[in-house]
Amino acid sequence: MPTARKHSRGTHQSRGERHAAMARKREERAVRSAYKKEKKAQKNSAEEQNFYAFHSQLAKMQLQLREIPGDG
């Protein structure tokens, strides 16, 4: 015995509504990505400042901090 399909009303989005939702999500992703990049740049800047401060402290003791390529 075949069953009748029930159509739910109000859940179907028009093409324009889908495009608007996709555009909104795209913008939200772009904002989150920009925020992540900004936070990463600030972190790198702080680490670089700490490096130079530590480097100058070592220089006062006639020591030198060297960066070894490929050393993780």
Q: Which runs of consecutive H residues, i.e. helices, occur in 1-72? A: 15-60
> Taking the domains of the chain in order of start, what are their residue ranges?
14-64
pLDDT greater than 70 at residue 48: yes
Mean pLDDT highest for which of 3-7, 31-35, 46-50, 55-59? 31-35
What confidence score (pLDDT) does residue 36 get? 92
Q: Which residues contact 65 (CB under 8 A, 6 or more apart)?
A: 51, 54, 55, 58
Quick one: pLDDT at residue 11?
66
Is 57's pLDDT higher than 70?
yes
Residue 27, pLDDT above cutoff 60 = yes
The predicted structure's pLDDT at residue 3? 64
Phi/psi region, residue 10 (left: phi>0; alpha: psi -120 to 50; beta: rest), is: left
